[in-house]
């Protein structure tokens, strides 16, 4: 009798093993890592750009950027004050996986890093399926995408530890029913911590920064926190 293991299942368990290895490596070096996921244009890079200057006095922050092509985002991260930035060009893959992060970690001096921000490929479907080994997963939604996204992409909303709602400065101009949006989120991920903010105006960013600081692992937590 032939035993059949679906290919996807096999791939995922191999990915999970490597994700665990990544996590062990990060823990050993005392690096707290966050996986940032969103659709293209929601503001992952903008959030990184706003986050870095607010932390770099206290923490050494590095950025890993996943994109299908170009190093535009890694360059922006370096410009914003990252101690190191690594661009992963996935060559067509629509998500990061643990192998790619493993390779990126190999290019970083982890002993010189406190916080690692991983910008996943812009995509609201499969990044949620591939564990990287990061400590927290954050989804960035944005007002122009529309209030129906939790209903249309439940997988992304279910697995994350925090939700950023970016571009709230556009709320007066775009039909976006915040209550409808939040009800959808609550049904999928009850009690999910949410940060409505604007990377453009800076409104709401303080709460996001506080959340990052308070989630740092004890080894990486700065003395005043």
Residues of this chain that interact with Mg ion (CB under 5 A) are 44-45, 73
Strands 84-89 and 136-142: unpaired
Rule CB under 5 A: say whether 135 interacts with Zn ion.
Answer: no
Closest contact distance (angstroms) between CB of 181 and Zn ion is 24
Rule CB under 5 A: say whether 94 interacts with Zn ion.
Answer: yes
Closest contact distance (angstroms) between CB of 223 and Mg ion is 32
The secondary structure of the chain in percent helix, strand, coil, rounded to multiples of 5, reads 45, 20, 40
Closest contact distance (angstroms) between CB of 72 and Mg ion is 8
Q: Is-contact 57 83, C-beta < 8 A?
A: no
Supply 62's token pair: 């590095």
Total residues at the site for Zn ion (CB under 5 A)? Answer: 3
Rule CB under 5 A: say whether 44 interacts with Zn ion.
Answer: no
DSSP state at residue 111: G
Q: Which stretch binds Zn ion (CB under 5 A): 20-28, 54-62, 88-96, 166-174?
A: 88-96
Compute φ and ψ for 36, nearest 5 degrees.
Answer: -100, 120
Residue closer to Mg ion (CB basis): 39 or 45: 45
Could you give the angle at the alpha carbon of 101 between the alpha carbons of 218 and 141, nearest 5°? 80
Report what 126 binds from Zn ion, Mg ion, none; CB cut-off 5-8 Å by kind. Answer: Zn ion
């Amino acid at each position: 009798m032939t035993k059949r293991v679906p290919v996807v299942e096999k791939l995922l368990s191999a990915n999970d093993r490597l994700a665990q290895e990544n996590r062990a490596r990060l823990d050993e070096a005392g690096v707290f890592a966050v996986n940032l996921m969103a659709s293209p244009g929601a503001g992952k890079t903008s959030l990184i750009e706003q986050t870095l200057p607010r932390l770099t006095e206290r923490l050494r922050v590095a950025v890993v950027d996943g994109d299908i092509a170009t190093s535009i985002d890694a360059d922006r991260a370096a410009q914003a004050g990252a101690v190191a930035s690594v661009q992963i060009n996935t060559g067509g893959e629509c998500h990061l996986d643990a192998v790619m992060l493993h390779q990126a970690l190999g290019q970083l001096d982890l002993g010189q890093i406190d916080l690692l921000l991983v910008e996943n490929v812009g995509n609201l479907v499969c990044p949620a399926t591939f564990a990287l080994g990061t400590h927290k997963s954050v989804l960035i939604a944005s007002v122009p995408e529309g209030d129906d996204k939790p209903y249309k992409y439940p997988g992304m909303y279910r697995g994350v530890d925090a939700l950023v709602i970016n571009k709230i400065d556009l709320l007066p101009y775009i039909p976006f029913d915040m209550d409808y949006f939040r009800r959808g989120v609550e049904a999928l991920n009850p009690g999910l911590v949410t940060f409505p903010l604007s990377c453009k105006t800076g409104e709401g960013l303080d709460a996001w920064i506080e959340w990052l600081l308070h989630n740092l692992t004890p080894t990486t937590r700065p003395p005043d926190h």
